[in-house]
């Protein structure tokens, strides 16, 4: 698996890259790479040098994920506080006044951009993912490295409103030419 090793070595030099080998039989890809949005072009260049081809670029809207995480953290903290209070009561001591549970406020919502790469000669699929703020969905285009990404990025802009900085033409590809909506956003209402 020369291409995989080449990619792994090259990605080790990238500070933001978190590389994880995944179980192919379960997930359908071999490498899962998380990077900072600033590094997507560098990663695309690495994939290009290793002889990969681009399968697709797409997005995932994680609206409400942060709130759900915060709610879960709060629930956990409350359960822990209740348990502590019960334990204190069971010991016969005076139950202390329940301290107000402190949890950090939910962070800003994010959108994920996923790049799928594959290889003609070797069986190797790599999913590269990065996250951008939902309120400011911007990152650099990789269409200069892989011209095939041009249409995929345009489609992602159509569906999610993610702006690819430096893209030659982000006009609607599949949506009507005057479309000002992004149908795959989770808060999109027809």
Partner 1 sequence: MSHLASDLHKETFVLNMGPQHPATHGVLRVKLVLDGEYIVEADPVLGYIHRMHEKMGENRTWAQFMPNTGRLDYLSALSYNHGYVCAVERAAGIEVPERAEVIRVMTVELNRISSHLLWFGAYLLDLGGFTPLLYAFDDREQILDLLESVTGSRLTYCYFRFGGLYNDIDDNFVTGLKAFVQRLRSRLPMYHTLVTKNIILMKRLKDIGVVSADMCRRYGATGPVARGSGIEYDVRKNEPYSAYPEFDFDIPVYPEGDSMARYMVRMDEIEQSLRIIEQAIAKLPEGPIMAEKAPKIVKPAPGDYYQAVEAARGSFGVRLVSDGTNTPYRLKLRSPSFCNLSLFAEASQGMLVADAIAFMGSLDLVIPEIDR
List of residues contacting partner 1 (CB under 8 A):
25-29, 51-56, 58, 60-61, 114, 116, 118, 120-121, 123, 125, 127, 146-148, 150-151, 159, 172-176, 183-184
Which of 103, 41, 112, 53 has its CA nearest to residue 76?
A: 103
Q: Measured from the CB of residue 161, what is the shortest distance to partner 1 in angstroms?
A: 14
Which residue, 36 or 56, has its beta carbon nearer to partner 1? 56
Q: Measured from the CB of residue 99, what is the shortest distance to partner 1 in angstroms?
A: 33
Which residue, 170 or 184, has its beta carbon nearer to partner 1? 184
Looking only at the bridges linking them, the beta strands covering 138-140 and 52-61 are unpaired
Within 8 A by CB and 6+ apart from 170, the residues are 153, 154, 157, 163, 164
- 57 is written with which tokens? 């670029």
Strands laid side by side in the 31-35 sheet: 18-21, 31-35, 125-133, 110-119, 52-61
Query: Are 95 and 148 spatial neighbours (Cβ–Cβ below 8 Å)?
Result: no
Q: Measured from the CB of residue 150, what is the shortest distance to partner 1 in angstroms?
A: 7
- 116 is written with which tokens? 């799928």
Which residue, 39 or 61, has its beta carbon nearer to partner 1? 61
* Gap between the Cα atoms of 118 and 122, Å rounded: 8
Which residue, 8 or 125, has its beta carbon nearer to partner 1? 125
Which residue, 4 or 173, has its beta carbon nearer to partner 1? 173
* Gap between the Cα atoms of 100 and 165, Å rounded: 45
Q: Measured from the CB of residue 170, what is the shortest distance to partner 1 in angstroms?
A: 14
Q: Measured from the CB of residue 95, what is the shortest distance to partner 1 in angstroms?
A: 37
């Amino acid at each position: 698996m020369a291409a995989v090793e080449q990619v792994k070595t090259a990605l080790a030099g990238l500070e933001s890259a978190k590389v994880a080998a995944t179980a192919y039989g379960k997930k359908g890809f071999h490498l899962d790479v998380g990077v900072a949005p600033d590094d997507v072009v560098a990663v695309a260049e690495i994939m290009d040098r290793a002889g990969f081809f681009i399968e697709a670029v797409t997005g995932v809207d994680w609206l409400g994920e942060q709130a759900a995480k915060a709610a879960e953290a709060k629930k956990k903290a409350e359960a822990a506080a209740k348990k502590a209070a019960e334990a204190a009561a069971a010991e016969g001591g005076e139950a202390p006044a329940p301290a107000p549970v402190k949890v950090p406020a939910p962070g800003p919502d994010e959108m994920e951009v996923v790049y799928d790469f594959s290889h003609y000669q070797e069986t190797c699929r790599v999913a590269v993912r990065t996250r951008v703020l939902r309120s400011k969905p911007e990152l650099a285009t990789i269409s200069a490295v892989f011209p095939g990404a041009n249409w995929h990025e345009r489609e992602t802009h159509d569906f999610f409103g993610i702006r690819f900085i430096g893209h030659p033409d982000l006009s609607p590809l599949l949506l009507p030419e005057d479309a000002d909506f992004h149908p795959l956003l989770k808060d999109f209402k027809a």
